[in-house]
Amino acid sequence: MRPTMDVSELLQAGASKQKSIQVEKEIPLDIDIGYLAATDPNPIDEEEYKNNREEYLQSVARDNAQLLINHLFSLPIESSQDGPLAKLPPPTTTLPRAKPLPKPKPPTKWEKFAAAKGIQKKRTEKKIWDEEKQEFRDRWGRGGKNKELEEQWLVEVPANAPADFDPVKEARDAKKKRVAKNAAQQTKNIQRAERSNASASLPQEREKRKTELERDLAQTRISTASMGKFDKKFQGEPKLRGVKRKFDPNEKSADSEKASALAILSKLDTSRPSKRARAEGGDDVLNVRKAIRHESRTGGLSGERTGGRPGKDGKGRGGKRK
Amino acid sequence: MLRVVKPKNARSKRAMLAREPQEVEPAKTAIFVKGSTTGERLNGVLRDLMALKRPNAISFSKKNAVHPFESTDSFIFWAQKNDAPLFLVGTHSKKRPHDLTLIRMYDSRVLEMLELGVDAYVPMSDFSGRKPPPGHRPLMTFDSPLFDTHPRFQQVKSLLLDLFNGEQIDGITLAGLEHVVQVSLGPLPASFTNESTEGKDLPPVHVRCYAMRFLASGQRTPRVELEPIGPALDLSLRRHQPPDEDLWRAATRKRKLEKRDVESGLGRKRKNVAVDEGGDMVGRVHVGRQDLGKLQGRKVRALKEERGAKRRRVEEGQMETEE
């Protein structure tokens, strides 16, 4: 008979060494695995918190970290150089960007033209075959083929060339001109793009500002007693329409007069004094500081300033006649 | 004429390109600004938070006369100069001692600000646990329902999440999971209501950091054990400036998905596809409605038609029509 072995004890011992990864929560966590974050909607246990705060916080953190790890290990996992890599889904929490979304690059003048004509983009190879040397050479750059003419030791001079004709200089100048032209075209393309960007984003702001300004202007115009009739006008200033001076009739019913007077009075009564006046004088509506400033500027109350600037009276037209 | 800034060499061109707006943004750089008077506590807080934020952190360790809620000009300038949209400002005054202000920028404009008072602080150096190397992403837990419901704590959550984990990534190496940042709230004060925004009516915020240790669990997923590594911060909410609505809308605008991406399942909910615990993708397929009319029931002799009955019936029918 074969000896039987009871492995249940061994299994139990092994199981007790290995701790569980199960965590029980009354309300499941709200996990945003894209940002590796979890929000625990369960309220805190106040008693535990008061008795032993740090241990309680750590136990909560452990449970939630375990749930996050469980979630992470359940994601599709790929192998990588640094070990297994969990593929994360896009996050669900909305965080603001640091910069606005990139705008599509506006086409250059050539690109527009090419699109209109249906010209396909061709890729230019950097190397070009040199028939003479029987090898591939760079199209441009150091030892480039575009400098061929400049580096020639013997050049045919055209018949009508001036005496100081320098073929090398001629070739180099022509090349430099082409480069400069291309640079200028690039700058113009950038400027065009910026202008179109600006005009795309600005109009709302501009329009808003324009209407605001127009409203302010109209308000200032009708703020004089003559409603702007004698104001200085600028060229091209639009004429204000539909604005008329209005007068109350000379004879008014006693009721309406009383009502209007009461309206003014009630306004006076409820209007709150300024912050500073309240702070300084309590109930006193008069802003003392402001009043003093006003008086000192106009020199109304004090008679001390009469001899202040004696020279001023002597100047002017009267002085010239003497 | 519009001024066109043209890079003078390839290196500056690369730097300019890196600063241009990108579709998927890299991690936000944070600047840690020391105010004109900061005590030992605030210096430690800034140092430790910077240690967690590294390598996307810049230290402004000289004294800076800044008052975020009075003037934001300096921050706008610094944000542009350093290409950094986040600020942590430490200031200290008699009225607001140990003041830590978080500022988030969008497009070189101030999006929002949040002022926190550091009521208690235990530095990282007081803990013996293994500190995470720079560049590792923490797991984050926000342990209160208020982080989803209360506007002031939503702001706290959004800012802290952005500070530590704001970068969008495709995958994470499981071996690189090092630490956990826990943000939790204390018990609610008696004066707390859902509408209260004043700091004294709101519970304190506890920020704790733990290193993770993975133990064998007999399964593929390991058991997690934590060990505190600090810093441990107890924060109270002070002044704040919520984001301007228009600016927020502009900042959270999403790219319009291309048709190709939509067809491949991006941007909409993928239904009936899940990943099971073994890491396998499991799909559920609808096989169409079953026609129960054709269901073959139990074959009982009594329900069987007699042989020849059909033929007989047909003959009878014919006779009737003939009549």
Phi, psi of A226 (to 5 degrees): -90, 5
Tell me what the mean pLDDT of segment A163-167 comes to.
90
Domains and CATH numbers, chain B: 26-167+174-250 (3.40.50.10480)
Same domain membership, residue A160 and residue A149: no
**pLDDT value, residue A100:** 93
How far is the C-alpha of B20 from the C-alpha of B252, rounded, in Å?
18
Same domain membership, residue A25 and residue A72: yes
Task: Convert the pLDDT of each residue in A167-205 to its tens digit.
Answer: 899 999 999 999 999 999 998 998 888 887 776 655 677
B219 touches chain A (CB under 8 A): yes
Please report where in the chains the tokens 């500002």 appear, as a residue.
A209
Q: Which residue of A has its CA nearest to B111?
A: A96
> Does some domain include residue A272?
no
The answer to whether residues B30 and B84 touch, using CB atoms and an 8 Å cutoff, is yes
Contacts of B165 in chain A (CB under 8 A): 35-37
Please state, rounded to an integer, the average pLDDT across all residues of chain A.
81
> Does some domain include residue A146?
yes
Phi, psi of B105 (to 5 degrees): -110, 155
ipTM for the predicted complex comes to 0.79
Tell me what the mean pLDDT of segment A152-170 comes to.
89
pLDDT class of A257 with cuts at 50, 70, 90: confident
| Helix spans in chain B (H) | 10-19, 40-53, 73-82, 146-149, 151-165, 245-251, 259-263, 309-322
**pLDDT value, residue B157:** 96
> Does some domain include residue A28?
yes
Q: List the structure tokens of B263.
A: 């067809």
Q: List the structure tokens of B66.
A: 């800044």
How far is the C-alpha of B235 from the C-alpha of B207, rounded, in Å?
8
A5 touches chain B (CB under 8 A): no
A199 touches chain B (CB under 8 A): no
Contacts of A82 in chain B (CB under 8 A): 173, 175-176
Per-residue pLDDT of chain B (323 residues; tens, 9 = 90+): 456 677 889 999 999 888 999 988 999 999 999 999 999 999 999 999 999 999 999 999 999 999 999 999 999 999 999 999 999 999 999 999 999 999 999 998 999 999 999 999 999 999 998 889 999 999 999 999 999 999 999 999 999 999 999 899 999 999 999 999 999 999 998 888 888 888 788 999 999 999 999 998 888 899 999 999 989 999 999 999 999 999 999 999 987 777 666 666 666 666 788 777 666 777 888 888 878 878 777 788 777 776 666 666 566 655 555 54
> Does some domain include residue A267?
no
Contacts of A35 in chain B (CB under 8 A): 140, 161, 165-166, 168
Contacts of A40 in chain B (CB under 8 A): 141-145
A202 touches chain B (CB under 8 A): no
* B139 contacts A36? CB cut-off 8 A: yes
Same domain membership, residue A82 and residue A57: yes
Domain-terminating residue out of A220, A249, A276: A220
Domain-terminating residue out of A117, A138, A154: A154
How far is the C-alpha of B321 from the C-alpha of B323, rounded, in Å?
5
Distance of CA B231 to the CA centre of its chain: 21
Q: List the structure tokens of B171.
A: 């995958």
The answer to whether residues B69 and B239 touch, using CB atoms and an 8 Å cutoff, is yes
Q: List the structure tokens of B293.
A: 């009319």
* A87 contacts B174? CB cut-off 8 A: no
A22 touches chain B (CB under 8 A): no
Same domain membership, residue A77 and residue A38: yes
* A64 contacts B182? CB cut-off 8 A: yes
**Which CA distances in Å does B277 have to A72, B148, B195, B221, B313?**
10, 28, 42, 10, 62
pLDDT of residue A308 exceeding 80: no
A91 touches chain B (CB under 8 A): yes
Angstroms from B236 CA to nearest CA on chain A: 17
Domain-terminating residue out of A220, A251, A268: A220
From the number of C-beta atoms within 10 Å of its C-beta (0-12, 13-18, 19+), residue B150 rates as buried
Among the partner-chain residues B6, B145, B186, the one whose CB lies closest to the CB of A41 is B145
Closest Cα partner for B188 from B160, B244, B131, B150? Answer: B150
pLDDT of residue A312 exceeding 50: no
How far is the C-alpha of B308 from the C-alpha of B315, rounded, in Å?
11
pTM, 2 dp:
0.66
> Does some domain include residue A215?
yes
Q: Which domain holds residue A68?
A: 18-86
**Which CA distances in Å does A23 have to A13, A75, A262, B70, B224?**
21, 18, 73, 47, 11
B225 touches chain A (CB under 8 A): yes
pLDDT class of A322 with cuts at 50, 70, 90: very low
Among the partner-chain residues B106, B140, B224, the one whose CB lies closest to the CB of A96 is B106
A201 touches chain B (CB under 8 A): no
> Does some domain include residue A141?
yes
pLDDT class of A39 with cuts at 50, 70, 90: very high
> Does some domain include residue A47?
yes
**pLDDT value, residue A227:** 82
Same domain membership, residue A22 and residue A82: yes
Number of folded domains that form chain A: 3
**pLDDT value, residue A217:** 84
**pLDDT value, residue A16:** 59
Count of CB atoms situated within 10 Å of the CB of A155: 14
Query: Chain B window 145-174: which residues touch A at a Cβ cutoff of 8 Å?
Result: 145, 147-148, 157-158, 161-162, 165-166, 168-174
**pLDDT value, residue B182:** 96
**pLDDT value, residue B56:** 95
Q: List the structure tokens of B25.
A: 């943004």
> Does some domain include residue A309?
no
Q: Which residue of B has its CA nearest to A192?
A: B2
**pLDDT value, residue A307:** 41
Among the partner-chain residues B137, B168, B277, the one whose CB lies closest to the CB of A90 is B168
Q: How many CA atoms lie within 13 A of A160 on its CB side?
A: 0
Q: List the structure tokens of A176.
A: 């430099």
pLDDT class of A275 with cuts at 50, 70, 90: low
Q: List the structure tokens of A126.
A: 């950097």
Q: How many residues in total does chain B contain? A: 323
Q: List the structure tokens of B166.
A: 């704001």
A89 touches chain B (CB under 8 A): no
Q: For the ranges A80-84, A261-265, A303-307, which has the lowest average pLDDT?
A: A303-307
**pLDDT value, residue A203:** 61
